[in-house]
Structure 1
Amino acid sequence: MTPYRHVTVGDIRVSYTPELDGGGAEFGQAFVPFVRAHLGPVDRLLEWCAGPGFIGFSLLSAGLCTRLDLADVNADTGPLVRDTVRANGLHGRAVGHISDCFAQIPRELRWDLVVGNPPHVNSEDAETDYRRRHPRLIWQDSDWAVHRRFYRQVPGRLRPGGNVVLQENHRFSSPEDFKGLVEDAGLEHVGVFDCGPGLEDYYFVWSRLPAGARS
């Protein structure tokens, strides 16, 4: 077993292994100022495609959610998340789920905000350093199939007025790739936003459940 490494986000020490680090401890930290400026604190938050949970744990540490769920299809992330929860005394505040999109997450769970740093690359032919460092599961989403499934399912998992913010990469996608998926799902496309200085490759796609819509 690969020995765990650790990085501190806010005041939470997150356990991880290099092959499961998809950038959440680096460019993913742009979520904290974005959520603070545009959305403010929420009760329940889900990090989708969470890996070790760098983004979700940083938002929890910053006081931007009260309860945190983390979901990833890769079963190897489960022990990492449990180790972080145990080591930081987060039982009752944070829980991990191994799930293919929402399929294995309890049906009754609903969130005020869903965030994620999903696979950024549509084609396996793309020139990317991800290929050399990470399993394909982390970086490849052929024909945006994972995104399509996510956007079809997420409206039914949002609380009234719930928001979705995903982080994408200009090198491998255009905002137009996702706008249609958002609108086809019945979500309101709020807009596309830069991730901040030094992160010009990355952007946020923000959508929300329209007022009056039922989840």
Structure 2
Amino acid sequence: MTAYRHVTFGEIRVSYTPALDGGGMGFGQAYVPFVREHLGPVDRLLEWCAGPGFIGFSLLAAGLCGTLDLADVNEDTEPAVRDTVRANGLDGRATAHVSDCFAQIPPELSWDLVVGNPPHVNSDDARTDYRRRHSPLIWQDSDWAIHRRFYRQVRDRLRPGGNVILQENHRFSSPDDFKGLIEESGLDHVGVFDCGPGLEDYYFLWSRLPDTGTGS
């Protein structure tokens, strides 16, 4: 049995191991004030590349989503998420998925908001301390292949008015690296936003479904 560590957001105690921590309980917490200020509560939320769910569970604890799906390609994340769900009585409100992007997530599921702290490094880049401390599953996305797959698929998983907000790292990418992927996906590029004081390395990349209303 895995001996989990724990961190608490609001009234939710999240189970994790150091190997699953890609920064979500640190810089990832910038999501809470950002979503509160710019979107407010949503019904259905997905955290993509979720790890143990630091971002998603913090948004749930803050009352910023009604239900939460958490998806990661790493099979070790699922038992950690399930431990959190069980310990906090979140059955029916939070669900773990082991999935390569959306491939293994039930096709009927869709969301009002998709967030994520995906791999930030487009290479086997020796400059990053991630390389020494973490599995490549957490930090490496060569040729932005994971991002490309995500943006090709995410539009069909958004509910009307749905939004996508990913957290990226200025040290290893430029927003221009992703703007073409957003355009090709058919989403509207809303903008690039700072993550707040002390988090100057990081930025939010916001896109959303186009408004198809015809007006009056």
Q: TM-score, normalised by structure 2?
A: 0.97
**Letter of the 1:167 counterpart:** Q
**Does the 8 Å contact 1:160/1:212 carry over to 2?**
no
Name 1:33's counterpart in structure 2: 33
Question: In the TM superposition, what whole-angstrom CA distance separates every residue of 1:21-75 from its partner, at most 9, and x where no partner exists?
Answer: 0000000000000000001100000000000000000000000000000000000
SS at match of 1:22: coil
Match of 1:10 in 2: 10
Hey, what does 2:65 align to over in structure 1?
65
Partner of 1:74: 74
Could you tell me which runs of 5 or more consecutive residues in structure 1 were left unpaired when the two chains were aligned: none
Q: Give the secondary-structure state (helix, strand or coil) at the position aligned to 1:137.
A: helix
Counterparts of residues 154-165 of structure 1 (less than 5 Å): 154-165=154-165
Could you say what secondary structure the match of 2:84 adopts?
helix
Task: Give the conservation status (yes or no) of the 8 Å contact 1:47–1:55.
Answer: yes
Question: Shift in Å at residue 97 of structure 1?
Answer: 0.4
What whole-Å deviation, never above 9, does each CA across 1:104-160 have from its counterpart, x for those lacking one? 000000100000000000010241111111101100000000000000000000001
The answer for the alignment partner of 1:125 in structure 2 is 125
Cα drift, residue 212 of structure 1: 2.2
Q: Is the 8 A contact 2:125 2:131 kept in 1?
A: no
Matches of 1:204 and 1:144 in 2, distance apart? 17
2: distance between equivalents of 1:35 and 1:128?
28
Say which SS state the counterpart of residue 148 (structure 2) adopts.
helix
| AA at the equivalent of 1:164 | V
Q: Specify every segment of 5 or more residues in structure 2 that has no aligned partner in the other structure, as ranges.
A: none
Partner of 1:86 in structure 2? 86
**Distance in 2 (alpha carbons) for counterparts of 1:138 and 1:48:** 12
Matched, 1:167 2:167: yes
| Cα separation, 1, equivalents of 2:173 and 2:144 | 10
CA distance in 2 between partners of 1:177 and 1:2 (Å): 38
Q: 1:202 to 1:95 in 2, by over 3 A?
A: same
Calculate the aligned-residue CA RMSD, in Å.
1.0
Contact 1:9–1:25 (8 Å) recurs in 2: no
Distance across 2 between alignment mates of 1:125 and 1:26: 22
- List structure 1 segments (4+ residues) > 4 angstroms apart after TM superposition: none
CA apart distance, 1:2: 5.1
Q: Percent identity?
A: 83
Once the two structures are overlaid, the 10-residue window that deviates more, 120-129 or 137-146, is 120-129
1:194 aligns with 2:194: yes
What's 2:142 paired with? 142
Q: Tell me the matched-pair count.
A: 213
Q: Give the conservation status (yes or no) of the 8 Å contact 1:188–1:207.
A: yes
Tell me, what secondary structure is at the counterpart of 2:66? strand
Aligned counterparts of 2:10 and 2:154: Cα–Cα separation in 1: 28
Per-residue deviation, residues 65-101 of structure 1 (Å, max 9, x unmatched): 0000000000000100000000001001100000000
